[in-house]
Chain A
């Protein structure tokens, strides 16, 4: 009998620092599996964000750079422009990508930079302790929206996948989730597709992944999954928003 569950070569033996019920671990694993399957470990460079995944570089076994808040797409641009043969991905959360790094992601996508972005949307700033993110849901309580997100004051949550697919430059833009096994299978397919587009030198690719943060949401892991399904998924619709011609 062969082993059905084995650790991808691209993942390290370290135990992650992520909280119970956090989905970063799943997403790391999907990325690692895809890189294994595509056989590109030796020419891949990952870029870690500022956010809960700041230490992501510890959990992968290939070359990594650690960025400043939001600047990962600029760093990825720098790499791809001088070393187009390398496979580059940024791994970014919602505070990093949709707030402080909005300029960098939009321009990188619009230039059609041929790297891949894994965008983890869990509707809250994790690392800094549960503050409001651009993707925080209406009325969602956070440490900086203690009475709930007041959309009259701070606007509606930003739908990154939709926003980026409005650009005329070709790209692969999709939104997936990992809160249920059926979503995980689809998410992995999407991540693989994103890397394949990059390998073929075709376009910029971004996979938004709707995720959970039980710790900062103040919910148990099970409750968090329920909340993500009932509150986030109706607003953040899953699917492919843009596919290159």
Chain B
């Protein structure tokens, strides 16, 4: 199949179907409602299931129930909706069920605004819900990448028996780009007979399965948490993904940026190149696990005077960048989060002045 022109939100919906997920529960919220609108037309065509739940809280538990009985399932929402789903995310993580959540971020806190933002970095990578859980978080920078990340999210969620979150922003959801759906990313669900409550007859088993997150004995709960931690540590070893940009030259500054913001940074880097002003970039594709080693190594380059985290939030990812750089270079932050995306010109000015001061 050739390329089609799709909005990020539509492409995300289609990608889930192509990945082999035919179950979608959601609640409308700008700027991601197009996913539900698209799938409400598309799911009946492919024999899939679409249900609009009564709230994001309920939707997250619809995912929990469906996933716990062994089926592939996903939802999409935007920032305030993801806050409501965070309770469910904690339970789903605790009960070790695979599920895919997409957050098309808008400005916050509270109702904020409907324009693009990256203000949910902490929520996605550090919790949001209660307890010691992590999500595997991927951040697409194009519609094509959103498609690929959604398609890979399902087998990853099953590999770790943990929710995976695709963290996009309003622009990724709303903009149109040509996309292709790579057939080789379609996957069969793994066998879940050892844990899923799929019905004893379905499994032809005498043993019942139990899906729960309750561990009343302190010893058992600690053991459970150590088991979860081991999974998150394995993610840190096996799932880190990032893109290097203009990293083979003697750059004066290293930018760390993701999603929509990283595309503005690329334009800025290209334009600076024409003035022979060299800037490199690491673009994390996974936000958890964060590419700490890659950032550290890139920051260590002799020519590099400064590391700048550029994000559409008031300084969230910069904390992970600081952790990665561990004092080797000064780390600065630049960002905006009212909804206006910084322009390449603004980014160029910021880089120049920060390099000058460094």
Contact = CB atoms under 8 A, between A and B. Distances in A.
Interface stretch (A40-48, A118-126, A175-183): A40-48
A222 interface: no
Interface string B197-210: 11111100000111
A76 B49 CA distance: 15
Given A43-B201, A68-B61, A82-B23, A74 B53 contact: yes
Residue of A42, A47, A75, A81 most packed against chain B (CB within 10 A): A75
B324 to A, nearest CB: 35
Contacts of B335: none
Interface residues of A, number: 34
Interface in B67-83: 67-69, 71, 73
Contact of B197 (A61, A65, A67, A81): A65
A77 interface: yes
B114 interface: no
A79 B69 contact: yes
B248 to A, nearest CB: 48
Contact of A45 (B55, B95, B197): B197
A41 B200 contact: yes
B181 interface: no
B57 interface: yes
A96 to B, nearest CB: 13
Nearest to A45: B197
Contacts of B23: 81-82
B51 interface: yes
Contact of B61 (A41, A78, A81, A83): A78
A68 B65 contact: no
B199 A43 contact: yes
Contacts of B65: 47, 65, 74-79
Contacts of B209: 63-64
A61 B53 contact: no
A79 B212 contact: no
Nearest to A90: B65
A77 B199 contact: no
B88 interface: yes
B319 to A, nearest CB: 30
A54 B208 contact: no
A104 B58 CA distance: 7
A37 to B, nearest CB: 17
A65 B61 contact: no
B210 A82 contact: no
A57 interface: yes
A86 B68 CA distance: 13
Contacts of B199: 42-45, 63, 83, 85-86
Interface string A49-72: 000001101001111111110010
Contact of B198 (A55, A63, A71): A63
Interface string B13-48: 000000000010100000000000000000000000
A103 interface: yes
Contact of B208 (A47, A64, A85): A64
Residue of B53, B65, B68, B88 most packed against chain A (CB within 10 A): B65
Interface string A84-107: 011000000000000000011001
Residue of B66, B197, B201 most packed against chain A (CB within 10 A): B197
A129 B93 CA distance: 28
Given A78-B25, A81-B62, A103 B55 contact: yes
Given A77-B51, A104-B57, 12 more contacts: A65-B65, A65-B68, A66-B212, A67-B61, A74-B53, A74-B60, A75-B62, A78-B64, A78-B73, A79-B65, A86-B199, A107-B53
- What are the 5 tightest A-B residue pairs by CB atom distance, in nearest-first order? A78-B65, A75-B65, A42-B201, A66-B212, A74-B61
